[in-house]
Structure 1
Amino acid sequence: MSGSEFVCVTYVKAPPERVWRALTEPEFTTRYWGVAFDTDWTPGSPMTWDENGATTSAPGQEVLEYDPPKRLAYTWHTFTPEWAERVGVPGDVLAKLAAEPRSKVRFDLEPDGGAVKLTVTHDGFPDLSTARDMVSQGWPALLSSLKSLLETGEPIGS
């Protein structure tokens, strides 16, 4: 797949502040994503990811924008052997991921009546990117689970 950007839009029937919390607070992120972020959310601050018991921290893994409850952006995590083992990524795929430049993700929240239009833009991928292929499958499922959690109290798969 070519192109450096993946965009996914969903509408969540919840106040913007609640959607924002679902993007930033571990009590939410661990329920629909299985990830907890350790950061102070100040632009330029490092981010540590804890995903399925694999802690990922590396230079360049940082907060880019933090404007509650409108915009959040950060660089994507480093692809490590520990992460790959925990989430079931084979070694050959890990090698391809590790060879790619670091991507970044941005969340834009816009009130839309009684809902929030949530736009996720994940970019910085090279042509024929393995990471882009993976996030193009992951983001729709992840956002569906976030939406389900906020609208019903349960993420998908619970």
Structure 2
Amino acid sequence: MGGDAFVYLARIKTTPRELWRALTEPQFTERYWGLSFDTDWAPGSPMTWAERGGSIADPGQRVLEADPPRRLAYTWHTFTPEWAERARVGEDALAAIAAEPRSQVAFDLEPGAGTVRLKVTHDGFEPGSRVRGMVVEGWPELVSSLKTLLETGEPLPG
């Protein structure tokens, strides 16, 4: 983990198996994240990201680790013009983030007394990374919606 890693911790009232499912299965990810992954979750396998009516497939998008229900890690998606249009990211911002090295995210699940401690580590950033700035804002919102979904049955409103 590099010095510019972003780490976010949450306790979620669920089981490790349910949290794993929520991180990997489309019927969950689509509800709190608005996307799904097409992959078999085997280390080294490719991942296609599907969101907002489009998909992102790139050879660099790979599963890095999968140890259910303890640890999941994968490379972050490729920033394409189609993604930028769907995400409302301007051309200048797209050029800047597309020029950065690919980052990666890891989810560590640790069972506790009636809860699971989720540690999200997103790293691989260069100093001053614009992508890091985006994930610093994104992960807390996303994990909050995931937590709410698992604890109440409904994600946070869009």
**Structure 1 length normalisation: TM-score?**
0.97
**2: CA distance, partners of 1:123 / 1:82:** 24
SS in structure 1 at match of 2:17: helix
1:73 paired with 2:73, answer: yes
Residue of structure 1 in register with 2:157 after alignment: 157
**1: CA distance, partners of 2:42 / 2:9:** 25
CA RMSD of aligned residues (A): 1.1
Residue of structure 1 in register with 2:34 after alignment: 34
**2: CA distance, partners of 1:53 / 1:101:** 26
Counterpart of 1:81, as a letter, is P
What pairs with 1:107-146 in structure 2 (closer than 5 Å)? 107-146=107-146
1:24 paired with 2:47, answer: no
Deviations 1:5-58 (A, max 9, x none): 000000100011000000000000000001100001110000000011120011
How many residues in Structure 1 have an aligned counterpart in Structure 2? 157
Residue of structure 1 in register with 2:46 after alignment: 46
Instruction: Tell me the CA shift for residue 60 of structure 1.
Output: 1.1
Instruction: Tell me the CA shift for residue 4 of structure 1.
Output: 2.2
**1: CA distance, partners of 2:48 / 2:103:** 16
Deviations 1:121-145 (A, max 9, x none): 0000000000000000000000000
Unpaired runs of at least 5, structure 1? none
SS in structure 1 at match of 2:116: strand
Unpaired runs of at least 5, structure 2? none
**Structure 2 length normalisation: TM-score?**
0.97
Stretches of 4+ aligned residues off by more than 3 angstroms: none
Counterpart of 1:141, as a letter, is E
Counterpart of 1:148, as a letter, is T
Identity of aligned residues (%): 65
